[in-house]
Amino acid sequence: MHLNMLKCKIHRATVTHAELNYEGSIAIDGNLLDAAGMREYEQIHAWNISNGERFVTYALRAEEGSGIISVNGSAARRVSTGDLLIIAAFAGLSEAELAKYQPDLVYVDADNRITHTNHSIPKQAA
Protein backbone atom coordinates (compact mmCIF):
# COMPACT_ATOMS: atom_id res chain seq x y z
CA MET A 1 0.00 0.00 0.00
CA HIS A 2 1.15 3.55 -0.76
CA LEU A 3 0.04 6.55 1.25
CA ASN A 4 -0.17 10.05 -0.23
CA MET A 5 1.91 12.12 2.21
CA LEU A 6 2.90 15.77 2.40
CA LYS A 7 6.32 15.90 0.72
CA CYS A 8 7.01 19.60 1.22
CA LYS A 9 5.47 23.01 1.56
CA ILE A 10 6.26 26.69 1.35
CA HIS A 11 4.26 28.40 4.09
CA ARG A 12 2.72 31.89 3.76
CA ALA A 13 4.35 32.89 0.47
CA THR A 14 3.22 36.29 -0.78
CA VAL A 15 1.86 36.48 -4.34
CA THR A 16 3.99 38.96 -6.29
CA HIS A 17 2.26 38.61 -9.68
CA ALA A 18 -1.05 37.32 -11.06
CA GLU A 19 -0.60 36.88 -14.83
CA LEU A 20 -3.83 35.75 -16.50
CA ASN A 21 -2.41 35.80 -20.05
CA TYR A 22 0.49 33.47 -19.38
CA GLU A 23 0.72 29.72 -19.75
CA GLY A 24 -0.62 28.23 -16.49
CA SER A 25 1.59 27.45 -13.51
CA ILE A 26 3.14 29.10 -10.48
CA ALA A 27 6.60 30.55 -10.98
CA ILE A 28 8.45 30.20 -7.66
CA ASP A 29 11.78 31.70 -6.63
CA GLY A 30 14.34 28.95 -7.35
CA ASN A 31 15.79 29.24 -3.84
CA LEU A 32 12.38 28.35 -2.38
CA LEU A 33 11.94 25.42 -4.77
CA ASP A 34 15.35 24.04 -3.81
CA ALA A 35 14.85 24.53 -0.07
CA ALA A 36 11.48 22.75 -0.19
CA GLY A 37 12.67 20.00 -2.52
CA MET A 38 10.08 20.89 -5.16
CA ARG A 39 10.95 20.28 -8.77
CA GLU A 40 10.12 22.32 -11.81
CA TYR A 41 6.96 20.94 -13.48
CA GLU A 42 5.99 19.04 -10.32
CA GLN A 43 2.28 19.09 -9.50
CA ILE A 44 1.59 21.41 -6.59
CA HIS A 45 -1.43 22.39 -4.56
CA ALA A 46 -1.95 26.02 -3.59
CA TRP A 47 -4.17 27.17 -0.75
CA ASN A 48 -4.93 30.88 -0.60
CA ILE A 49 -4.96 31.94 3.05
CA SER A 50 -6.33 35.36 2.12
CA ASN A 51 -9.53 34.23 0.36
CA GLY A 52 -9.90 30.46 0.89
CA GLU A 53 -9.41 29.50 -2.79
CA ARG A 54 -7.62 26.22 -3.55
CA PHE A 55 -6.18 25.05 -6.84
CA VAL A 56 -3.78 22.52 -8.37
CA THR A 57 -1.18 23.42 -10.98
CA TYR A 58 2.57 22.87 -11.48
CA ALA A 59 5.71 24.67 -10.40
CA LEU A 60 8.01 26.67 -12.64
CA ARG A 61 11.42 27.97 -11.58
CA ALA A 62 11.73 31.75 -11.23
CA GLU A 63 15.06 33.50 -10.81
CA GLU A 64 16.89 32.53 -7.64
CA GLY A 65 16.69 35.25 -4.98
CA SER A 66 13.96 37.15 -6.84
CA GLY A 67 11.21 36.49 -4.28
CA ILE A 68 8.82 35.84 -7.18
CA ILE A 69 5.60 33.94 -6.59
CA SER A 70 3.73 34.44 -9.86
CA VAL A 71 0.38 32.72 -10.26
CA ASN A 72 -0.31 32.35 -13.97
CA GLY A 73 -3.07 31.37 -16.37
CA SER A 74 -6.55 30.58 -15.10
CA ALA A 75 -5.26 30.22 -11.51
CA ALA A 76 -4.50 33.97 -11.60
CA ARG A 77 -8.27 34.51 -11.14
CA ARG A 78 -8.00 32.84 -7.71
CA VAL A 79 -5.41 35.25 -6.28
CA SER A 80 -4.55 38.92 -5.95
CA THR A 81 -1.10 40.40 -5.60
CA GLY A 82 -0.27 40.39 -1.88
CA ASP A 83 -2.34 37.29 -1.04
CA LEU A 84 -0.70 34.66 1.18
CA LEU A 85 -0.39 31.09 -0.13
CA ILE A 86 0.59 27.71 1.19
CA ILE A 87 2.20 25.82 -1.69
CA ALA A 88 2.50 22.07 -1.17
CA ALA A 89 3.54 18.91 -2.98
CA PHE A 90 2.73 15.31 -2.09
CA ALA A 91 4.43 11.96 -2.64
CA GLY A 92 3.24 8.35 -2.55
CA LEU A 93 5.22 6.46 0.07
CA SER A 94 5.26 2.80 1.01
CA GLU A 95 4.94 1.63 4.60
CA ALA A 96 8.71 0.95 4.65
CA GLU A 97 9.51 4.48 3.41
CA LEU A 98 7.37 5.99 6.17
CA ALA A 99 9.89 4.86 8.81
CA LYS A 100 12.35 7.54 7.62
CA TYR A 101 9.79 10.03 6.31
CA GLN A 102 9.95 13.74 7.18
CA PRO A 103 8.39 16.53 5.10
CA ASP A 104 10.46 19.58 4.15
CA LEU A 105 8.74 22.71 5.46
CA VAL A 106 9.91 26.16 4.36
CA TYR A 107 8.72 29.32 6.11
CA VAL A 108 9.09 32.74 4.50
CA ASP A 109 8.73 36.41 5.40
CA ALA A 110 6.65 39.05 3.57
CA ASP A 111 9.37 39.33 0.88
CA ASN A 112 9.43 35.55 0.30
CA ARG A 113 12.83 35.16 1.94
CA ILE A 114 13.38 32.01 3.99
CA THR A 115 13.08 32.64 7.73
CA HIS A 116 13.49 29.02 8.79
CA THR A 117 12.86 25.42 7.81
CA ASN A 118 11.53 22.43 9.71
CA HIS A 119 10.57 18.77 9.28
CA SER A 120 7.51 18.68 11.49
CA ILE A 121 4.53 20.82 12.37
CA PRO A 122 4.07 21.53 16.09
CA LYS A 123 1.14 19.77 17.73
CA GLN A 124 -1.95 21.95 17.82
CA ALA A 125 -2.99 22.91 21.34
CA ALA A 126 -6.64 22.87 22.39
Where are the strands (E) in 30-120, listed by range?
Answer: 43-48, 54-62, 69-72, 84-94, 104-108, 114-118
Extract the annotated binding site for substrate: 57, 73-75
Residue-wise DSSP of 49-75: TTT--EEEEEEEEEPTTS--EEEEGGG
| 58 among known catalytic residues | yes
Extract the annotated binding site: 57, 73-75
Q: Which of 41, 50, 58, 120 is catalytic?
A: 58
Which residues have a catalytic role annotated?
25, 58
